[in-house]
Amino acid sequence: MGNIPTGRTITLLGVNHKTTPVEIRECLALRGGYEEALTDLKAIAGEVEHYLLSTCNRVELLFVSNGDALLEERLAGFLFGDAILPEDRQRYSYRYVGAEAVNHLFQVASSLDSLVVGEAQILGQIKEAYRHAAAHQCTGPLLNKLLHKSFSVAKRVRSETGIGSAAVSISSAAVGLAKKIFGRLEEKQVLLIGAGEMAELAAEHLIGQGIGGVMVANRTVERAVELAGRFHGRACSLDDLITQLREVDIVISSTGAAGLILREEEVRPLMRSRRNRPLFFIDIAVPRDLDPALNDIDNVFLYDIDDLSQVVEGNRAEREKEAVTARQIIDEETHKFCRWQEGLAVTPTIAALRRKADDICRRELARTLPKLELNEGDRQRIERLAQSIASKMLYDPLQFLKSPSCRQGDTAKIDMVRTVFGLENNGVSDDDDTSVDPA
Stated length of the chain: 439
Q: What's the distance, Cα to Cα, between the start and end of the chain in Å? A: 21
How many CB atoms lie under 10 A from the CB of residue 365?
Answer: 16
Bin 137: left if φ > 0, else alpha if -120 < ψ < 50, else beta.
Answer: left
Nearest to 148 by CA among 11, 51, 13, 5: 51
For residue 275, what is the DSSP state?
A: T
Q: Give the C-alpha distances (Å, rounded to integers) separating 60 from 99, 100, 127.
A: 16, 14, 14
How far apart CA 130 and CA 176 sit, in angstroms, is: 33
Instruction: Please give, one letter per residue, the 3-state secondary structure of 2-71.
Output: CCCCCCCEEEEEEEECCCCCHHHHHHHCCCCHHHHHHHHHHHHHCCCCEEEEECCCEEEEEEEECCCHHH
State the Cα torsion 399-401-407-413 to the nearest 10°. 140
How far apart CA 240 and CA 316 sit, in angstroms, is: 38
Report which secondary-structure segment, H or E, holds 191: strand 189-193
Asked if residues 361 and 392 have their Cβ atoms less than 8 Å apart, the reply is no
> Active site includes 56?
yes
Q: Which of 27, 56, 236, 338 is catalytic?
A: 56
Nearest to 136 by CA among 55, 46, 56, 75: 46
How far apart CA 383 and CA 369 sit, in angstroms, is: 9
For residue 88, what is the DSSP state?
A: G
Asked if residues 42 and 71 have their Cβ atoms less than 8 Å apart, the reply is no
How far apart CA 307 and CA 310 sit, in angstroms, is: 5
| Integer-rounded Cα radius of gyration of the chain | 32
How many CB atoms lie under 10 A from the CB of residue 73?
Answer: 11
Query: What is the pairing mode between strands 189-193 and 250-253?
Result: parallel
Catalytic residue IDs? 56
